[in-house]
Amino acid sequence: MERLGMDAVEAALTDLPGWDCIDEHHLVKRYTFDDFVAAQAFVNQVAGAAEAQDHHPEITFGWGYARIEVYTHSAGGITAKDFALAAACDVAYASSPGASASQGSG
């Protein structure tokens, strides 16, 4: 999978509100939840999507939040696979009980 240039990354980000490109290397987004259990349920959904895509993000979560970071190790940066997984994370969030109205980057 070929690493995307910044023009392609910036264009693709317009379809993924709240996702940010960090250091021209990875995508990151922070999701907010009503409590710890809701955040954990979301992380489990993301894990299922990651397994299905055979593309595994860095995930940090705790009470009321989950932070997802994606990049393609073998390409040394961002590829189309990262955008596919980012979109799957947003779909999971949209259907998550306990998802808060606010969500942001990083």
Q: What is the pLDDT confidence band of residue 1, given thresholds at 50, 70 and 90?
A: confident
Domains and CATH numbers, the chain: 6-94 (3.30.1360.20)
**Is residue 93 over pLDDT 60?**
yes
> What pLDDT, on the 0 to 100 scale, is given for residue 97?
87
pLDDT digit string, tens, across residues 26-73: 999 999 999 999 999 999 999 999 999 999 999 999 999 999 999 999
Q: What is the pLDDT confidence band of residue 98, given thresholds at 50, 70 and 90?
A: confident
State the burial class of residue 43 (Cβ atoms within 10 Å of its Cβ: 0-12, 13-18, 19+). buried
pTM above 0.85, yes or no: yes
**Is residue 82 over pLDDT 80?**
yes
* Residue 80 or 106, more confident: 80
What b/e readout covers 78-106, taking b as 16+ CB neighbours within 10 angstroms?
A: bbebbbebbebbbebbeebebbbeebeee
**DSSP tag of 34:** S
